[in-house]
Amino acid sequence: MSRWDTSNIPDQSGRTVIVTGANSGLGAVTARALAAAGAQVIMACRDEVKARAVANSIGERAQVRRLDLADLSSVREFAASIDRADVLINNAGVMAVPLRRTADGFEMQIGTNHLGHFALTGLLLDKIADRVVTVASGAHIIGKIDAADLNWERRRYNRWAAYGQAKLANLLFTYELQRRLTAAGSSKLALASHPGYAATDLQSHTETFMDKVMVVGNRVLAQSAEMGALGSLYAATATDVAPGGYYGPTGLGGARGYPVACKSSAASRDEVTAGRLWELSEQLTKVTFPFAER
């Protein structure tokens, strides 16, 4: 797997891949690479104008469908429009935004990054033939799941702690999904990836001085979005992935490099917390996975 890049993507002809947040950044790079390898790509995006511009640059292998992960009615509408797909890539996300709430009252970061993708995956799981890839982050190491106040209704809001919680939730969800798929006798795979420190627009929405700091960081320290997308592309297409695997760069403390199998925090491997988060996510989204009753 050393120096794996887009030239190593197996032929994707005949396969359909859903990529959330494909209108910019890592998602747009992912969509372009998959289409170039022969896949039909469904770009699931809130900003349809930007998404169509990207789709037009890709050509006939890309199509745009509206999906707002911060609105569960939109998630349900999108899921109902899908007949089948081979891979779902849960890529969309927000980072360190001011305290805001989704249409359903969830804190925006946990609501978009985790609960929206949790609901989407549950609603689509029977239609996904091969694998689900969820894009996490090295920031999961600062995360802590507060099951009693997941949506920051009683705690004083901290945007970075909220981001860490959401990214930790991505990994807890992935590992628990794989355990449940395995227990159900399914051959489907749940995988996670991270982009390292990649230069995208994700870092420019904190609405604080950090936006300017991270613009400089993007220029000086970050690797390109093309490099950052390799982890999710590997997880989505490689034939030698491990069930429940986590892939991304490990250079410079996980900030740069080609994708390899990665380790994640002990908290991300806590099966008790994963089970509690799963139950809470079902309650909040009112989405029950097909195999939920074991």
| Positions marked active-site | 163
Place of tokens 């799941």: 145
CA distances from 20 to 46, 207, 251, 258 (A): 9, 24, 27, 22
In the chain, the amino acid numbered 255 is: A
Four-CA torsion 122, 202, 214, 232, nearest 10 degrees = 60
Q: Is 212 helix (H, G, I), strand (E, B) or coil?
A: helix
**Pair of tokens at residue 291:** 């195999």
167 φψ region: left (φ > 0), alpha (ψ -120 to 50), beta (else): alpha
Tell me how far apart the alpha carbons of residues 108 and 292 are, in angstroms, rounded to a whole number: 26
Strand partners, 88: 18, 132
CA-wise closest residue to 134 among 93, 70, 197, 192: 192
Q: List phi, psi (to 5°) of 224.
A: -70, 160
What's the CA gap between 113 and 69, in Å, rounded? 8
Q: Residue 116 carries which side chain, given as an amino acid letter?
A: G
- Which letter, b or e, does each residue of 179-199 get, where b requires 16 or more Cβ atoms within 10 Å of its Cβ? bbbeeeeeebbbbbbbbbbbb
Query: How many CA atoms lie less than 13 Å away from 294 in the CB half-sphere?
Result: 10
In DSSP terms, 191 is beta-bridged to 133
